[in-house]
Amino acid sequence: MKTLLFLTQRLPYPPNKGDKIRSFAVLKHLAKSWRIHLGCFIDDPADRQYVDALNEFCAETMCIELNPRAARLRALRALVRGGPLSEAYFADARLAAWVRRVKPDAAFLYSSVMGQYLRGVQRPPRVVMDFVDVDSDKWRQYAERQSWPMSWVYRREAARLLEFDRAMAVSADAVTFVSEAEAQLFRRQAPETAAKIRGISNGIDLDTFAPGPYPAPFTGPTMVFTGAMDYWPNVDAVGWFSAKILPRIRASLPTASFVIVGSNPTDEVRRLAELPGVTVTGRVPDVRPYLAHAHAVVAPMRVARGIQNKVLEGMAMGRPVITTPQGLEGIHAEPGRHLLLASGADDFAAAVLGVLNGAEGQHLGAAARAQMVACYDWSDKLAAFSRLLE
């Protein structure tokens, strides 16, 4: 069996957040035909307990705990020296030394910043790099919503990271993104690599995320948001919903509540629980009971790139989903048929009230589940990664 170097910026287990869902699905699939040497970072101390679980899929693991303070200092030095902050944040001499020791037949890199570890080493015969999203554009979006000096820092990172990503794409044999929309954007930004770029969507575990008899964690008309709550686009989304959309809903339906489900809520997110009708759960052992009993799953994203797994999961659970154009990007779903689309606060509140007050939600949920079954099974998507590596 051939040897595969698999590098990812975050421990790919458990698959409970967007990047882990994709990286673990690919890892598990490739382990069927490759001897995998996994190198990654642990950015959440609670994840250390899951390292042993990866031994089932890997011949060797090198999992390094990421010190956030040291990583921020490296990024600060990069700010002075002119490099991208993202590259410096994930630079580690121990991981670099380990990579030099591994002599793989091929390499799979999850996120472009891991490409730095193939510099100065004997290049594997085949390199596939999964950029997932066009991260440089996400930094551009951040800049648009921040005041100086952070707006300057984010614009600078957008430009530097795009330069870095173009160089990484040139060095790879194949480059993948989580949707064709992301792939098209990067083709425009890096036309010299257009021929090697592919869009490979995420799938959804349709057996895990399926309607079922889950215990009810709440009562009354409830809207649910799921996601990592230390991720700024999610923080922005729930803040906007709580401040601008929920009051409009509660003016018509005073018993309506909003439940924010996700790990590591920031202080800003925790303070939202002081608002009428808002609950912040923090980390939960299983998000499915919250989704299963949600009268509406909301994804009010104003900053986004790639595919929103929270939308896929809500649809797979057969729940009515309301999202923004940013939240829908890259997802094969028809607004008005499989989910509802809204932009401003007034439109979003009206769409949610239409679901909470009527029978539309049941029809939307059934259509959403059917669309996930038809288009989002993992098998064909994972097979595409195997073909690229071979």
Does residue 177 contact residue 132 with C-beta atoms inside 8 Å? yes
- Report the distance separating Cα 217 and Cα 286, nearest Å: 11
- What is the structure's pLDDT at 206? 94
Same domain for 270 and 181? no
Domain extent for 91: 3-200
- Report the CATH number that the domain containing residue 104 is assigned in CATH: 3.40.50.2000
Over residues 4-30, the mean pLDDT reads 95
Same domain for 84 and 31? yes
Q: Which residues pair with 261 in a beta bridge?
A: 226, 282
- What is the structure's pLDDT at 358? 83
Write the pLDDT tens digit of every residue in 128-164: 999 999 999 999 999 998 899 999 999 999 999 999 9
Query: Which of 31, 28, 11 shows the shortest CA–CA distance to 20?
Result: 11
Same domain for 118 and 43? yes
CB neighbour class for 51 (10 Å; exposed up to 12, middle 13-18, buried from 19): middle
Same domain for 313 and 190? no
Whether residue 214 lies inside any domain: the answer is no
Same domain for 9 and 142? yes
CB neighbour class for 125 (10 Å; exposed up to 12, middle 13-18, buried from 19): exposed
Same domain for 142 and 9? yes
- Report the number of distinct structural domains present in the chain: 2
Residues 135, 381, 283, 348, Cα dihedral to 10°: 70
Whether residue 382 lies inside any domain: the answer is no
- Please give the structure tokens belonging to residue 386: 């195997």
Ramachandran region of residue 328, left (φ > 0), alpha (ψ -120 to 50) or beta? alpha
- What is the structure's pLDDT at 16? 87
Distances, alpha carbon 111 to alpha carbons 19, 115, 247, 286, in Å: 9, 8, 39, 27
Ramachandran region of residue 264, left (φ > 0), alpha (ψ -120 to 50) or beta? left
Give the model's confidence band at 380: pLDDT under 50 very low, under 70 low, under 90 confident, else very high. Answer: confident
Same domain for 195 and 112? yes
Give the model's confidence band at 231: pLDDT under 50 very low, under 70 low, under 90 confident, else very high. Answer: very high
Same domain for 313 and 196? no
Task: Give yes or no for residue 370 having a pLDDT over 90.
Answer: yes
Write the pLDDT tens digit of every residue in 178-223: 999 999 999 999 999 999 999 999 999 999 999 999 999 999 999 9
Same domain for 165 and 292? no
* Amino acid at residue number 270: R
Same domain for 109 and 23? yes
Same domain for 126 and 46? yes
Write the pLDDT tens digit of every residue in 52-111: 999 999 999 999 999 999 999 999 999 999 999 999 999 999 999 999 999 999 999 999
Task: Give yes or no for residue 360 having a pLDDT over 80.
Answer: no
- What is the structure's pLDDT at 362? 83
Instruction: Write down the pTM of the prediction.
Output: 0.91
What is the end-to-end Cα distance of the chain in Å, rounded? 13
Residue count of the chain: 390
Whether residue 114 lies inside any domain: the answer is yes
Crossing angle (nearest 10°) for helices 150-171 and 135-144? 170
Whether residue 211 lies inside any domain: the answer is no
Over residues 340-349, the mean pLDDT reads 97
Whether residue 51 lies inside any domain: the answer is yes
Same domain for 307 and 174? no
- Report the distance separating Cα 306 and Cα 134, nearest Å: 8
Task: Give yes or no for residue 359 having a pLDDT over 80.
Answer: no
Q: Which residues pair with 62 in a beta bridge?
A: 39
Average pLDDT of the residues of the chain = 96
